[in-house]
Amino acid sequence: MDRVLEYLLGAASFVPHGYCLLWRPDLVAMHVVSDAAIALAYFLIPGAILAFALRRDDITGEARQIAVLFSAFIVLCGITHLGGAVTLWYPAYGLEGMLKAVTAVVSLGTAVVTWRLMPRLVAWPSPRQMAEANRLLVAEIEARDAARRQLEEIRARLETEVAERTAELAQVKQLFEIATEGARMTVYAQDADLRYTWIHNPASGLVEAEVVGKRDEDLLPPEAAATSIRMKRRVLATGAPARFDLEVAEGGSSTWLQISVSPRLDDGRIVGIVCTATDITRPKRLEAMRSDLSTRLAQTVQRLDLALKSSGMLVFVQDTELRYAWANTADTPYGPLVGRSDFELLNEPERATLIAYKRRALASGEPQYCEAEVGPEGNRRWWDLHIEPTFTETGEVAGITCAAVDITERKHGERQMRLVMRELTHRSKNLLAVVQAIARQTAQQASTVAEFVTGFGQRLRSLAGAQDLLVAEDWGGVQLSDLIRNQVGHYMPEDEARVVIQGPVLRLPPEATQTIGLAMHELATNAAKYGALSNDDGKVEVTWRLDGEGEEESVVLEWRESGGPTVQQPTRRGFGRIVVERNVAVSLEADVKLDFDPAGVTARFRIPRRNLID
């Protein structure tokens, strides 16, 4: 024991540490004060650490262990400094070494624990991070408080809305009941077996208890029940809503219901149907009446349209701006009328005339009548227009309705009649002049009254024959071949082959018909009296052809006799010769050659083609 104490407290061979400092007061004091101050600090620091650890209940486990280790390490460091101060006077170097050894062990242990816990220590938030986290935590708390206040406001609003919706629902329910009763509508539900599970406003005087639990076949006639069940099962099978009309026969009458069927779902599975049944008996009857009226109206309109088309009548409606709103046909000289106006379709002067009549009807409210020729160039038509104003329910003029009858043919007939009358007057005068000339010339050539009457009568018959042909053709001209046959026909022998009439088709105007007809009559009369038709062997050939082109084109007409008695040269210039030579030459600007060849008379006429065109 003595050895231990001697080892710890020093031996005679050691001297205090002050000797090393030569016991200089300044050095000794500096070491003592410094070691004492360091020791005091080392004792105060662990006290503060331990006090902090004890006051913080949240510091536990490894954190508290670290605080204890650091406190022990720092306290031991302070004790070593006190030991250093003691050895200045007492050579207790063994004790001092033991203290330093313990301090070294605790220090190393603290260092090992510190490095082992370094990742966790580094992960501890810094004061700035703690401040930021604290700020965020405060903000989150404030946000949660605000959200809580909003939730409270929303809950209050929801409670208000629920109260309002409850009141609205009650009102809607009341309106629903009133509407279904007023509209004669039944609403009901059926399960997958088509049993009624609920019904509102049942029809036919039934009550809910009499319907719930039953099926359609228990409540409806067989035919109606079969139709209803088929349609409802289709909805149950497909999940697609359906709507159909159902006729329910009741005695001698029928009730019509419009059934709307929708599937009723539970977790996506069809568990039944919801239906509405609306009584549409009245609309059905009205529809039947409307259909019948529409059919009869369509038939009437069809008859009217047929009558209008067959009569050539155009009926149309125009508004106050004279824009066409309706027309009974689109087949007009201007094409479809609807949507267009008179300002677009008509040209002057008829536009101003027609618009004036129509505006007069709009302004006065009185019907207007007029006739007008309208239409695009090349397709102008005459119309007889009857213009009637149309009125609204308040009596205001809303537009006009016009019936226009196509009178083009009548107008053309009237115009043609006027032309015919003028032409008839002109030709009557000409005919009277011709008759007067024939009478005068016949009288001059006749030696007796009987001879005058015979010659004058024959020439009048020739003239009348030409007139008959013109009348038969409506004074539109006569075929030359028909004219020659008409004039020669009075002298035609039994053997018609003795008379040859041949040439191209050529139509003569009225004036040329009279002139050439008289010439052919005189030649035929002469042939019958003195020429080829006076015996049984003579022959007459009448031919014509076209010669030349353009303005120089002419018709060459030849009368040639053969086989008759020998022709004697005439000793005087009779009326027949005047008609043949002079009349044709003057009237038709013809070149006439009359040859009294002993073998037979030949007459040749070259007439400019232009004089034979009407």
CB 90 within 8 A of CB 10: yes
Domains 312-406 and 462-612 equal at CATH topology level: no
Do 92 and 10 touch, CB atoms closer than 8 A? yes
What is the bridge-based pairing of β-strands 539-547 and 499-502? Answer: parallel
Report the CATH architecture of 312-406: 2-Layer Sandwich (3.30)
CB atoms within 10 A of CB 404: 20
Whether 108 and 62 have beta carbons less than 8 Å apart is answered as no
Q: Which fold has domain 462-612?
A: Heat Shock Protein 90 (3.30.565)
**CB of 560 closer than 8 Å to CB of 540:** yes
Burial class of residue 314 (count of CB atoms within 10 Å of its CB; 0-12, 13-18, 19+): buried
Query: Cβ distance 385 to 376 under 8 Å?
Result: no
Measured distance CA(21)–CA(154) in Å, rounded: 86
H or E segment at 85?
Answer: helix 62-86
Burial class (CB within 10 angstroms; exposed 0-12, middle 13-18, buried 19+) of 588 = buried
Q: What is the CA radius of gyration of the chain?
A: 70
How many Cβ atoms sit within 10 Å of the Cβ of residue 570?
13
Q: What are phi and psi of 196, to 5 degrees?
A: -70, 125
C-alpha dist (Å) from residue 493 to 488, 503, 567 = 10, 21, 20
Q: How does pLDDT run across 566-613, given as a tens digit for each residue?
A: 888 877 766 567 767 788 888 888 898 988 889 999 999 998 988 876
Which residues lie across from 546 on neighbouring strands?
555
Question: Which residues of the chain register pLDDT less than 50?
Answer: 11-12, 426
Q: Where are the beta strands (DSSP E) in 431-485?
A: 478-479
Go through the chain and tell me how many residues it has: 614
Long-range CB pairs of 34-37, under 8 A, 24+ apart, other chains included: 35/81, 35/82, 35/84, 35/85, 36/81, 36/82, 36/85
Look at residue 115 in the predicted model and tell me its pLDDT.
79
Q: Which two tokens stand for residue 304?
A: 């009217």
The amino acid at 392? T
3-state secondary structure of 585: helix
Ranges of each domain in the chain: 2-123, 183-279, 312-406, 462-612
Give just the sign of the alpha carbon dihedral 418, 419, 424, 426: positive
Contact between 58 and 34 under an 8 Å Cβ cutoff? The reply is no
Residue with tokens 């001879």: 451
Return the residue matching tokens 């349209």: 305
For the entire predicted model, the pTM comes to 0.34
Q: Which helix (H) or strand (E) holds 514?
A: helix 510-529
Q: 183-279 has which fold?
A: Beta-Lactamase (3.30.450)
pLDDT for 12 equals: 46
Q: Which of 90, 124, 107 lies closest to 16, judged by CA?
A: 90
